[in-house]
A and B are shown apart, each in its own frame.
Chain A
Amino acid sequence: MKEKNYIKFEFPSRSANEGFARTAAACFAAQLDPTLDELGDIRTAVSEAVTNCIVHAYPDTFGKIVLKMRIFEDNTLEISVRDWGCGIPDVEKARTPLYTTGGDERTGMGFTIMESFMDSLSVTSVPGRGTSVRMRRKIKQRVGAAR
C-alpha cells in the first residue's frame, strides 16, 4: 500500500508530553476527516502507548520516545511508538487484560484499550533494547465529505 503522508517526532519520556503527543497525533489524523469518535479513539490509544513508555520503559530515568504516523492511500492510519527503554520480557503476558507491574496507579488496561480502539496492534520488544508498538486504524470515508 502506498504511503501518502507521514510525520515523525521525538520527545523525552516526561509525563507532561503525554498531552502533546496525543493532540499532535489527532491533528495529523484530522486530514483523514475522521468522526469525533474516531479521533477520540486515536487520542486514547496514543495516550496509552506513550504512557507505557513513560511508566514502564524508562521507570527511573528519562529516555527518548519517537512517534511516527503514516497515512496510506486506502485511508489507513498507522501509528508507531518506539522507545529504547528496558523492554518487555513477556509481551504476551503484558498484553493480558488487567495485568500490570505498575502498582495501584495503573490498571493493566493499556494494551487492551489500544487493541480494541484500533483495528490492529503489534508489539515487538527486546529486553534491554526497547519496545516498538504499531497500531493501525482505517478511517471510514464519509459520503459527501470534502476530500
Chain B
Amino acid sequence: MLASFNDPFETLFALQCALDARTASGWMERGTAAIGSFPPINVFQKNDDFVAVVELPGIDKKDLEIEAKENTIRIRGRKAIAYGEQASVHRRERISGVFDRTLSVPIRIEPGGIKAEYRNGVLALFIPRAEADKPRSIKVN
C-alpha cells in the first residue's frame, strides 16, 4: 500500500487530525462506524446551509444512489474499472467495488430540498437547513 512509504510523522499527524476532527465535530456522532469509510466526505457550512463534498472519481451517475431520510443521507453505489480483455496491468492503484455510507446530520434539514451535483469526479450535496432550525434574531422592544 501507498501508506507504508509515508513519513511516519505525517501518518501520526493525520491520525491526530482525524481524532481532533472527530471530537470537535458533531457530524458523525450517531454513526461511529461511518467514520473513515469510503467515500471520503468533507462538510462545509455556507451561510445557514451545509454542503457535503464527496470525492468519487470515475463513477457512472447511474451507479450512484442517494437517499435522504429525516436527518440521514445515504450514499451508495458501485465503482467499476474496466481494463479491457487484452490488457496486461503494470500498475494498479485505483480501487473498485461497492460502497454504502450514511451521513447523519446534527441539524434539522429539508429532505426534499437536498440537491446533488456530480461534476469532475466530485459529488456535492447541498443540504438546506430546515426553516424551523435557522437562527433568527429577536427584536428587543
Asked if chains A and B come from one complex, the reply is no
